[in-house]
């Protein structure tokens, strides 16, 4: 399964949960970034500040 397919599946699952129990998606991403320190976020920030 490709990364794009996994992301789409995760977004659909998150959307279903969001309709049942409203959850702040931004807060979840922030918690993930603070605890996991993913490489994609650092690359994204560097790209933003480079341009």
The predicted-structure confidence for 6-30, as pLDDT tens digits, reads as follows: 888 988 998 888 888 887 878 888 8
12 is a domain residue: no
38 is a domain residue: yes
Per-residue pLDDT of 27-48, as tens digits, reads: 888 888 899 989 988 998 899 9
1 is a domain residue: no
45 is a domain residue: yes
Compute φ and ψ for 16, nearest 5 degrees.
-65, -45
List all residues 6 or more positions away from 25 whose beta carbon is below 8 Å from its beta carbon: 14, 18
Domain span at 40? 24-51
28 is a domain residue: yes
Number of domains in the chain: 1
19 is a domain residue: no
> Does pTM top 0.75 for this prediction?
no
37 is a domain residue: yes
d(CA 17, CA 37): 25
9 is a domain residue: no
């Amino acid at each position: 399964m490709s990364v794009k397919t996994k992301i789409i599946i995760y977004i659909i699952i998150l959307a279903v949960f969001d309709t049942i129990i409203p959850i702040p998606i931004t807060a979840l991403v922030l918690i993930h970034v603070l605890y996991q320190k993913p490489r994609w976020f650092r690359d994204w920030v560097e790209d933003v500040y480079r341009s």
